[in-house]
């Protein structure tokens, strides 16, 4: 499976510009990738204190665009936008397939210091999306710090763990450490896509997007502040063979997640 990471700057609160740039980047992937990962809040940047930028779930232009892009370029697309639904705001990740179907996952862990927890409602359901016979766990940015929410409890709940993020450079060492930790805990491939550039809050983002396989090999990675698209060739059968040969999950502590 070919997974593309799109690491690039995001124009602050400028949906039209970001939409046009995203379309051009995805169009260049036609015939080259099966799944494309976009940074968190790819249409606006992490401007969580601007709820007027949220799109209604029932009539989201960006979701319509993602469905059109997925169909036209023949790939699944994963990324988050601000969504309004039932008087609540969500940082909602969409996994959109070429046939127009989609799954979505609301960010569970909201970052208080960025204003996200003040305006947004946290997700209450962990979502596994299936595409091309592969199971993907859909998580967002700050969720990376909390291993219970990503735990591959049954050993094969999912094959690939996806993280879309706006993770600033002042905390990038944690990003670099936590992504391989999730690989080790869950015997899965982990894909993390981050942005680069500066935002209106004075934060700088230096990327470090990567795909890490079950043996901790980095199939693709980005250097500091590098903008562009890179494609990882992920061997799904190797993931499953690795788990069969070393079924470490059988020795893990069993538990249930109680959602409040």
- DSSP 8-class letter at 108: S
Our answer to whether residue 32 is catalytic in this structure is no
Catalytic residue among 55, 116, 137, 141: 141
DSSP code per residue over 59-94: G-HHHHHHHHHHHHHTSEEEEEEEEEETTEEEEEEE
Distance from chain centroid for Cα 201: 22
User: Strand, helix or coil at 140?
Assistant: strand
For residues 150 and 136, is the Cβ–Cβ distance under 8 A? no
User: Strand, helix or coil at 248?
Assistant: helix
Distance from chain centroid for Cα 23: 18
Catalytic residue among 40, 55, 116, 185: 40
Q: Give the span between the Cα atoms of 163 and 141, in whole angstroms.
A: 6
The set of residues, in sequence order, having a beta carbon less than 8 Å from that of 224 and lying 6+ positions away, is: 206, 207, 208
Our answer to whether residue 188 is catalytic in this structure is no
For residues 33 and 231, is the Cβ–Cβ distance under 8 A? yes
56 forms beta bridges with 84
Our answer to whether residue 125 is catalytic in this structure is no
- The alpha carbon torsion through 88, 65, 71, 37 (nearest 10 deg) reads -70
Structure tokens at 93: 């990740």
Active-site residues, by number, are 40, 107, 141
């Amino acid at each position: 499976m070919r997974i593309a990471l799109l690491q690039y700057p995001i124009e602050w609160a400028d949906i039209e510009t970001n939409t046009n740039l995203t379309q051009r980047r995805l169009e260049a992937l036609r015939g080259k990738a099966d799944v494309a990962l976009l940074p968190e809040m790819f249409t606006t940047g992490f401007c969580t204190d601007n709820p007027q930028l949220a799109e209604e779930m029932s009539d989201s232009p960006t979701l319509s665009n993602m469905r059109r892009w997925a169909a036209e370029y023949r790939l699944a697309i994963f990324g988050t936008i601000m969504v309004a639904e039932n008087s609540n705001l969500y940082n909602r990740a969409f996994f959109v397939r070429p046939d127009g179907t989609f799954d979505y996952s609301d960010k569970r862990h909201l970052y208080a210091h960025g204003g996200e927890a003040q305006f947004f409602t946290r997700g209450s359901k962990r979502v596994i999306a299936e595409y091309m016979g592969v199971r993907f766990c859909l998580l967002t940015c700050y969720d990376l710090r909390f291993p219970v929410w990503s735990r591959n409890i049954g050993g094969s709940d999912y094959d690939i763990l996806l993280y879309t993020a706006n993770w600033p450079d002042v905390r990038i060492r944690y990003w670099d450490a936590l992504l391989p930790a999730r690989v080790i805990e869950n015997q899965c491939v982990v894909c993390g896509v981050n942005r680069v550039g500066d935002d209106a809050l004075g934060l700088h983002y230096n990327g470090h997007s990567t795909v890490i396989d079950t043996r901790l090999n980095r199939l693709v990675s980005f250097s500091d502040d590098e903008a562009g698209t890179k494609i990882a060739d992920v061997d799904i059968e190797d993931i499953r063979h690795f788990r069969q040969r070393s079924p470490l999950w059988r020795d893990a502590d069993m538990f249930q997640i109680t959602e409040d």
